């Protein structure tokens, strides 16, 4: 089997139970088939003399990591990646910031990653680069003579060209993207936005539904919806640890509905709108009733950036307002937890909650929606309320789909979920389980790698196989 080389901004720490779903799934795949995972180790050092890469072995895979300097962290990570690309790809031009230093830092770190990675590659490696931090890495590797198949996957949305062109340097960025053999997207509309950009702004043409020709260069663009390992998540939700969590969360003898939200504390996740919708739900019941308790886990992220500090303050103020207005001596309506919680605890909370509230304003996929479904008790499942602007909404049709900007619609969906019959909940859940099994983590990875292996243009440009395996089964 050919060696798989994964490159991402951060490499998961196998000793951390708090890693997200995707990190866990990539690590599992690498452990099984062996391979190399390269990226930042999360450490920040004073200057470049301290950034030598280090390797650790984890089962059959090697994790090769290096720190960033303070300047890299500021310019590449916080700056261009998270103050320019992240907001623009989430349709938030109002929050996008740009400096020449940040763009320069982004180029510098990508070039350094290529410098460090190139001597560690074999000719037969399959290389898979992840996400917006590393868009130019493929071109940087090509410039160093790497002729292997290199694939790229966008975990975040790809905006329409009219929004994308607000990115300074967008032509350079998009041209460097064309050096990958395969570019993967979460949804058909992300893929369509990209293809439209290439055709309208870079003079490319579609030669088949998944293949673009740009000045004689063939690039494949496919749709590969990310998923989770359904069985292992479901097992975790039934574990003794999860059961203990459920017992501690539910107030014995009380018929109370729990609503769960789990998100990184990011403005794309729609948390203030969600809190307002919860407030509207409470207002729709007679005074004194205690119809539902919202548990919101908002794990800290990028908290050095002003936009993230602002949203944290907004949430603190809103939760204080809601608890002050509706709370009672024996009831806190909104339990807002700004901390990272262990994964098995999350699984237990999902299972204990009648409603999973997943209402991002824009999201590439959203794995929390899938985890919530997997964690339910099939004989008495909860209801998923899902934003139409999450990539997951393309597939999860049996969720209650909402417009997260419309707080009354979200409040109404919560009321509908509270009142929904068990029969309807079971039917919806059964259908949703089928869907998350069909597009699970393994399917995502194997269909992407199958499509990547079929890209042979570097080795045999004249014999390019333009097969259409770019779309996930």
Annotated catalytic sites, by residue? Answer: 155, 363
Nearer to ligand GDG, 139 or 375 (CB): 375
Nearer to ligand GDG, 86 or 180 (CB): 86
Q: Which of 5, 6, 22, 68 binds ligand GDG (CB under 6 A)?
A: 22
Residue 109, token pair as written in the block: 């770190």
Per-residue x/- mask for ligand GDG, residues 425 to 464, rule CB under 6 A? ----------------------------------------
Which residue do the tokens 């910031």 mark? Answer: 97
On whether the CB atoms of residues 360 and 385 are closer than 8 A, the answer is no
Q: 288 Cβ partners below 8 Å, 6+ apart? A: none
Nearer to ligand GDG, 73 or 153 (CB): 153
Alpha-carbon dihedral angle through residues 299, 303, 305, 309, given to the nearest 10 degrees = 80
Residue 94 class from Cβ within 10 Å (0-12 exposed, 13-18 middle, 19+ buried)? Answer: exposed
Contact flag: residue 155 with ligand GDG (CB under 6 A): yes
- The minimum distance between CB 155 and ligand GDG, in angstroms, equals 4
194-233 residues near ligand GDG, rule: CB under 6 A: 226
Size of the site for ligand GDG (CB under 6 A): 23
Contact flag: residue 343 with ligand GDG (CB under 6 A): yes
Q: What are phi and psi of 39, to 5 degrees?
A: 170, -165
- The minimum distance between CB 446 and ligand GDG, in angstroms, equals 16
Nearer to ligand GDG, 28 or 424 (CB): 28
Cβ–Cβ contacts within 10 Å for residue 358, how many? 31
C-alpha angle 373/301/44, rounded to 5°?
135
Nearer to ligand GDG, 54 or 342 (CB): 342
Instruction: Say how far apart CA 121 and CA 439 lie, in whole Å.
Output: 31
- The minimum distance between CB 374 and ligand GDG, in angstroms, equals 11
Contact flag: residue 340 with ligand GDG (CB under 6 A): yes
Per-residue x/- mask for ligand GDG, residues 363 to 402, rule CB under 6 A? xxxxxx--x-------------------------------
Q: What are phi and psi of 169, to 5 degrees?
A: 75, 15
Instruction: Say how far apart CA 81 and CA 75 lie, in whole Å.
Output: 8
Instruction: Say how far apart CA 448 and CA 470 lie, in whole Å.
Output: 7
On whether the CB atoms of residues 98 and 131 are closer than 8 A, the answer is no
- The minimum distance between CB 111 and ligand GDG, in angstroms, equals 25
Per-residue x/- mask for ligand GDG, residues 246 to 265, rule CB under 6 A? ----------------x-x-
Residue 250, token pair as written in the block: 């539910």
**Can you give the binding site for ligand GDG, defined by CB under 6 A?**
18, 20-22, 155-156, 226, 262, 264, 297, 299, 340-343, 346, 363-368, 371
């Amino acid at each position: 089997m050919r060696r798989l080389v994964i490159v991402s901004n951060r490499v998961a720490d196998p000793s951390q139970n708090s890693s997200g779903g995707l990190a866990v799934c990539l690590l599992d795949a690498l452990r099984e088939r062996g391979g190399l995972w390269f990226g930042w180790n999360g450490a920040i050092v004073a200057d470049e003399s301290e950034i030598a890469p280090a390797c650790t072995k984890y089962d059959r895979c090697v994790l090769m990591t290096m720190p960033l300097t303070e300047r890299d962290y500021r310019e590449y990570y916080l700056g261009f990646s998270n103050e320019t690309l992240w907001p623009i790809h989430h349709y938030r031009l109002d929050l996008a910031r740009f400096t020449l230093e940040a763009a320069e830092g982004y180029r510098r770190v990508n070039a350094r990653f290529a410098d460090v990675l190139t001597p560690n590659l074999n000719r037969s490696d399959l290389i898979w680069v992840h996400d917006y931090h590393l868009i130019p890495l493929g071109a940087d590797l090509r410039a160093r003579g790497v002729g292997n198949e290199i694939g790229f996957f966008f975990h975040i949305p790809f905006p329409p060209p009219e929004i994308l062109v607000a990115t300074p340097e967008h032509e350079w960025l998009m041209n460097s993207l064309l050096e990958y053999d395969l570019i993967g997207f979460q949804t058909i509309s992300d893929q369509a936005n990209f293809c439209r950009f290439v055709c309208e702004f870079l003079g490319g043409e579609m030669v088949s539904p998944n293949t673009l020709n740009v000045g004689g260069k063939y690039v494949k663009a496919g749709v590969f919806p990310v998923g989770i390992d359904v069985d292992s998540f479901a097992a975790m939700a039934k574990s003794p640890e999860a059961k203990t969590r459920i017992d501690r969360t539910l107030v014995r003898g009380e018929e109370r509905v729990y609503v769960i939200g789990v998100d990184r504390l990011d403005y794309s996740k729609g948390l203030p709108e969600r809190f307002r919708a919860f407030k509207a739900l409470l207002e729709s019941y007679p005074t004194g009733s205690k119809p539902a308790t919202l548990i919101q886990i908002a794990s800290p992220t990028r908290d050095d950036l002003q936009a993230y500090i602002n949203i944290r303050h907004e949430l603190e103020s809103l939760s204080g307002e809601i608890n002050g207005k509706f709370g009672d001596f024996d009831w806190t309506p909104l339990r807002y937890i700004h901390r990272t919680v262990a994964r098995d605890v999350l699984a237990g909370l999902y299972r204990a909650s009648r409603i999973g509230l997943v209402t991002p304003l824009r999201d590439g996929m959203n794995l929390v929606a899938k985890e919530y479904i997997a964690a339910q008790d099939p004989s008495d499942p909860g209801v998923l309320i899902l934003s139409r602007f999450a990539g997951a909404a393309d597939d999860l049709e049996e969720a209650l789909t909402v417009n997260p900007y419309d707080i009354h619609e979200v409040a109404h969906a919560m009321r509908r979920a509270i009142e929904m019959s068990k029969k309807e909940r079971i039917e919806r859940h059964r259908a949703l389980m089928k869907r998350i099994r069909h597009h699970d983590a393994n399917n995502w990875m194997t269909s992407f790698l199958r499509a990547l292996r079929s890209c042979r243009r570097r080795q045999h440009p004249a014999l390019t196989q333009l097969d259409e395996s770019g779309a996930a089964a």
